[in-house]
Structure 1
Amino acid sequence: MKFESFIALRYLFARRQQSFISVISIISVLGVALGVASLIVVLAVMNGFTEDLRDKILGVNAHVITMSAAGNISGYAELTKEIEGVSGVTGVTPFIYSELMASSSQGVKGVILRGVQPKSADKVLTIRKYMIDGGFPELERKGLPGIIIGNELAKRLGVGIGRRINLLSPSGKKTSQGFVPRVRNFRVVGIYKTGMWEYDSSLAFVTLNSARELLGWNDSKVTGIEVSVSDVNNADKVAKKITEKLGGYPFYSRSWMDMNANLFAALKLEKTAMGVILTLIVLVGSFSIITTLVMLVMEKTRDIAVLMSMGATKKQIRRIFMLQGTIIGVVGTALGFALGLGVGELLKKYQFVELPKGVYSMDKLPIIHDWTDLVIIGVSAMVLCFLATLYPAKQAAKLEPADALRYE
């Protein structure tokens, strides 16, 4: 063991008359550890919340949507083939979008209607993960046209699987008796629950043919084309490629990031704000390191003078106290990582923290550790602890042996 390391450890864990210094050292270590652990747990929760929200949004929406400035697309079969040839695309399905009224014997509710191709939509959308009962294949059953609705909408209308609801389209037709809206009966063949009230209370799925019949559209017209990609984080790049492949105007493509930019920007800002706030805890811990070292310098003035009289250089004295602060930082950071990761695993396994139902889009705290965040936390904690050692170490190295020993 080097001379500086031996002295640093001896001073840091002093006994007998200097036991107070050891207590302060332990408090400094705990301060750093609690700050690091808090950062790890909170950022893991924020990552989990963002990931869960993203998965639920992508459960009912595609990664990329291609539409036309004309408002709808005719002859979509050729466009579908062209989009399938774009690198990064894993699935393509046409869709129809409209807003109309749903009613039953127990209620009325405005809904967003999505006409889909059950086979291709099941490959593009992942809403099957949130199905309570039924699924896209049930939409093509013979008999009365099928419809899939959210659990909140089902409660509002007082319907369940097999029950009938009426859809009223605003695009009706003129008759001798005036304007008559189109009304069609549908049978509930599926109910889903994403946990997001906006979707569960207002989004309904039917087949393309049922949607066209209700809206009075011809067989070749759709609102747009939904696309799934291999990497959701590169959806914006794939959207740009699709637009270029289709020749630009009147076609345009938007990724899920563009359509939910404000939401995820707010989540990112909140995560950054929480990170800054909790970093202050680590900063407080680093200030306690300064206190520990300053008191140690005052306590060990005579020892420092003796060491310098025996040949220790100012550089070695400075290094002793810098090593002390660094050791506190290393031990505190290591304990913080152990505590933070341990609490995270307990939350993930036992889910003992429950969230109010109806307030959040999930019932339990989601935990996802991001290695980038962990590296940044570790490096930041060590840097703050190291910077805290500079002033006390400089003051210790400035001591003059003659002045320190004059009154001893």
Structure 2
Amino acid sequence: MKFELFVALRYLLTKREHSFISVISLMSVLGVGLGVGALIVVMGVMTGFSTNFRDKLLGMQSHMITGVRGAPLRNYERYMQKLSAVPGVAGVTPIIYAEVMLSRGGSPKGVILRGVDTETADNVLTVGKDMVEGSLDALGQDSEVPGIVLGKELADMMALTVGGQVNILSPSFRGSAVGFTPRVKIFRVVGIFKSRIYDFDSSFVFVSLASAQQMLGFKPDTAMYLDLRLADLDATNEMAAKVERAVGGPPFYVRTWIDMNGNIFAALQLEKLGLFVVLIMIVLVGSFSIITSLMLLVMEKTRDIAILMSMGATAQIIRRIFLLQGVIIGVVGTTLGFALGLSTAWALKEFQFIKLPPGVYPMDHLPVLIRGHDLALIALTAFGLCFLSTLYPAGKAAALKPAEALRHE
């Protein structure tokens, strides 16, 4: 064991003349530990919430869309084959999108209609997994009255159940003896989904691609755009360039989930950063306690320091002794915080004893997701603050003059 480490451990572990210093050192360790533990839990919850929310949001939308600017996409199957061959594209499906009026018994409601291909929709959208009644595949069944799938909130709002019928007024008009009138088509409810995101559950309806083409006046080989699911969301920007090259560039456009929902996720990231800054203050308080305890220790051990220096210990050795004491406090506190934070995060994830009110959040329990880079950032920040706290006391100890220190003893 090196001389500096040996002396530093003796100063920390042996009984001191003033027990008050030991109490401050203990409070320093606890302060750092509580701060690190709180950071791990809060960062895990924030990461889990944003990831869960992102998965729910992108399950109803898509990771990426591509189409022709200002015009429908003709012969979409050819482009689907090209995009399916792009490495990193996990699924492609055609979509027809329109804002329509849904009515039943004289109570109209504006909704967003999406015409989907039931054979490929499950490769991109998660609405099939969110069904609480019926199924998305029922949209493709041959019937005189085409099927429709709606959100749970919308179904409750309009008192609809599976088997009920609704009217849809489309924005396309047809000529008649009295002028132009909106197209009206009757649909039968074949499924109800619940994504737990209110805007989707109260405003989204799904019909088959063929029904949407017929109602909105599209030709059979036409869609508005293609929805894509990516194998890796972190490679979104890189994949956007690949997809654009695959479809041939302008007049095609490519929009990613970041383009379409950037404000939402930027707000979540800002909130996470704000909480990190607030909670790091707890670690900062612990690091200030390290300064106090080391300064008091320097005052208590002035004679010992002077004797060590008179026996040949250099200022660098004295500085390293007190730096090591602060580092040991920081390491012990950080380790304690990791044990506390990781065990609490595991308990929250495993037992789910904190429930969230249904209908308010897109999940029914507090989500927790621990990521390695978050843990590394927390550890480096806590250890860095503890190390910086040792610089001033160590410098003061190294600056002592042996003759002056012993003269006052």
Report the TM-score when normalising by structure 1.
0.96
> What number of residue pairs does the alignment pair up?
408
Residues 117, 208 of structure 2: 8 Å contact kept: yes
Query: Secondary structure of the equivalent of 1:115?
Result: strand
Paired amino acid for 2:313: A
Paired amino acid for 1:209: A
Query: Secondary structure of the equivalent of 2:180?
Result: strand
Q: CA deviation at 1:407?
A: 3.3
Give the match for residue 285 of structure 2.
284
Give the match for residue 249 of structure 1.
250
Q: Which moved more, 1:10-19 or 1:171-180?
A: 10-19
Query: Secondary structure of the equivalent of 1:189?
Result: strand
Residues 318, 393 of structure 1: 8 Å contact kept: yes
Q: Report the Cα distance in structure 2 between the residues aligned to 1:242 and 1:17, rounded to whole angstroms.
A: 72
Paired amino acid for 2:161: G
Q: Which moved more, 1:329-338 or 1:103-112?
A: 103-112
Distance 1:106 1:302, change over 3 A: farther
Q: CA deviation at 1:245?
A: 2.4
Give the match for residue 33 of structure 1.
33
1:77 equivalenced with 2:77 (yes/no): yes
Q: Report the Cα distance in structure 2 between the residues aligned to 1:71 and 1:38, rounded to whole angstroms.
A: 52
Give the match for residue 43 of structure 2.
43
Give the match for residue 184 of structure 2.
183
Q: Report the Cα distance in structure 2 between the residues aligned to 1:129 and 1:25, rounded to whole angstroms.
A: 54
Q: Which moved more, 1:180-189 or 1:113-122?
A: 180-189
Query: Secondary structure of the equivalent of 1:118?
Result: coil
Give the match for residue 111 of structure 2.
111
Query: Secondary structure of the equivalent of 2:266?
Result: helix
Q: Report the Cα distance in structure 1 between the residues aligned to 2:92 and 2:363, rounded to whole angstroms.
A: 29
Q: Report the Cα distance in structure 2 between the residues aligned to 1:49 and 1:192, rounded to whole angstroms.
A: 21
Give the match for residue 402 of structure 2.
401
Q: Report the Cα distance in structure 2 between the residues aligned to 1:210 and 1:88, rounded to whole angstroms.
A: 31
Query: Secondary structure of the equivalent of 2:149?
Result: strand
Within-5 A mapping of 1:51-90: 51-90=51-90
Residues 103, 166 of structure 2: 8 Å contact kept: yes
Q: CA deviation at 1:117?
A: 0.7
In the TM superposition, what whole-angstrom CA distance separates every residue of 1:79-108 from its partner, at most 9, and x where no partner exists? 222222322222221110011011223843
Runs of 4+ in 1 over 6 A off after TM superposition: none
Distance 1:200 1:365, change over 3 A: same
Give the match for residue 21 of structure 2.
21
Q: Report the Cα distance in structure 1 between the residues aligned to 2:164 and 2:118, rounded to whole angstroms.
A: 20
Q: CA deviation at 1:16?
A: 5.5
Q: Report the Cα distance in structure 2 between the residues aligned to 1:401 and 1:238, rounded to whole angstroms.
A: 67
1:367 equivalenced with 2:343 (yes/no): no
Q: Which moved more, 1:151-160 or 1:15-24?
A: 15-24
Q: Which moved more, 1:99-108 or 1:388-397?
A: 99-108
Within-5 A mapping of 1:227-306: 227-306=228-307
Give the match for residue 134 of structure 2.
134
Paired amino acid for 1:208: L
Report the TM-score when normalising by structure 2.
0.95
Q: Report the Cα distance in structure 1 between the residues aligned to 2:39 and 2:178, rounded to whole angstroms.
A: 68
Q: Report the Cα distance in structure 2 between the residues aligned to 1:108 and 1:343, rounded to whole angstroms.
A: 49
Give the match for residue 389 of structure 1.
390
Give the match for residue 226 of structure 1.
227
Distance 1:327 1:16, change over 3 A: closer
Q: Report the Cα distance in structure 1 between the residues aligned to 2:290 and 2:52, rounded to whole angstroms.
A: 39
Q: CA deviation at 1:57?
A: 1.4
Query: Secondary structure of the equivalent of 1:113?
Result: strand
Q: Report the Cα distance in structure 2 between the residues aligned to 1:388 and 1:337, rounded to whole angstroms.
A: 20
In the TM superposition, what whole-angstrom CA distance separates every residue of 1:359-378 from its partner, at most 9, and x where no partner exists? 33323211000100101111
Query: Secondary structure of the equivalent of 2:220?
Result: coil
Query: Secondary structure of the equivalent of 2:299?
Result: helix
Give the match for residue 355 of structure 2.
354
Q: Which moved more, 1:301-310 or 1:320-329?
A: 301-310
Paired amino acid for 1:203: F
Within-5 A mapping of 1:93-104: 93-104=93-104
Gaps of 5+ in 1: none
Q: Which moved more, 1:51-60 or 1:122-131?
A: 122-131
Query: Secondary structure of the equivalent of 2:108?
Result: strand
Query: Secondary structure of the equivalent of 1:352?
Result: coil
Q: CA deviation at 1:218?
A: 2.2
Q: Report the Cα distance in structure 2 between the residues aligned to 1:171 and 1:287, rounded to whole angstroms.
A: 69
Q: CA deviation at 1:336?
A: 0.5
Q: Which moved more, 1:307-316 or 1:378-387?
A: 307-316
Q: Report the Cα distance in structure 1 between the residues aligned to 2:140 and 2:408, rounded to whole angstroms.
A: 98
1:197 equivalenced with 2:198 (yes/no): yes
Q: Report the Cα distance in structure 2 between the residues aligned to 1:251 and 1:46, rounded to whole angstroms.
A: 36
Q: CA deviation at 1:39?
A: 1.2
Q: CA deviation at 1:292?
A: 0.5
In the TM superposition, what whole-angstrom CA distance separates every residue of 1:24-77 from its partner, at most 9, and x where no partner exists? 111000111111111111111111111011101121122211111123112222
Residues 13, 21 of structure 1: 8 Å contact kept: no
Q: Report the Cα distance in structure 1 between the residues aligned to 2:407 and 2:371, rounded to whole angstroms.
A: 57
Residues 16, 22 of structure 2: 8 Å contact kept: no
Query: Secondary structure of the equivalent of 1:201?
Result: helix
Query: Secondary structure of the equivalent of 1:187?
Result: strand
Give the match for residue 168 of structure 1.
169
Q: CA deviation at 1:322?
A: 0.8
Q: Which moved more, 1:230-239 or 1:189-198?
A: 230-239
Q: CA deviation at 1:197?
A: 0.9
Q: Which moved more, 1:370-379 or 1:69-78?
A: 69-78
Residues 355, 363 of structure 1: 8 Å contact kept: yes
Identity of aligned residues (%): 53
Give the match for residue 214 of structure 1.
215
Paired amino acid for 2:60: V
Paired amino acid for 1:132: V
